[in-house]
Amino acid sequence: MSRDACFDAERRQVLSVYREALAAVHGGARVRAALERRPPPCPVHVAAVGKAACAMTEGAFEALRHGVRAALVITRHGYGDPVPGRRPGVHCLEAGHPVPDADSLVAGRALLEFLDAIPADRRPLLLISGGASSLVERPPAGVTLV
């Protein structure tokens, strides 16, 4: 085997391991697996916040099927995936990361309103990934982002 062929084989193997590692930690796959192992009482209202919010929401829908009645998805600007937003009852917002912005304030209010509106006979399911602390903000009165 030539040196180039050996290098190509090693490169393919490294890329294969890398892809498997990424798939193993994918937000949607992790949420789906967790909810399939221990499904919550349905129906649920999903609030997903973070850079992996769209993927996590899809994982919840895949695991719970029609058990998800509504969802609020909050992710970083540019990370919004249109798939969750096409589902009925799903609202998607984008906000600032790594620095909170005015949209983070809007998202913070929206999250509180969403949680407050969940009927007593339904369960909240909160999915949080990296970036959440910047994406939803609700500072006390008199405190600003600047």
Position 62 scores a pLDDT of 94
Amino acid at 113: E
Give the mean model confidence (pLDDT) for residues 45-70. 95
Q: What's the CA gap between 90 and 60, in Å, rounded?
A: 12
Full-model pTM: 0.85
Omega cis (within 30) before 39: no
Domains defined for the chain, CATH in brackets: 3-135 (3.40.50.10180)
Q: What's the CA gap between 99 and 32, in Å, rounded?
A: 30
CB burial class (10 A; 0-12, 13-18, 19+) of residue 80? middle
| Res. 58 pLDDT band, cuts 50 70 90 | very high
> How confident is the model over 89-129, as pLDDT tens digits?
999 999 999 999 999 999 999 999 999 999 999 999 999 99
Whether the CB-CB separation of 97 and 131 falls below 8 Å is answered with: yes
Whether the CB-CB separation of 73 and 54 falls below 8 Å is answered with: yes
C-alpha distances in Å from residue 27, one per residue of 9, 56, 59, 126: 30, 5, 7, 13
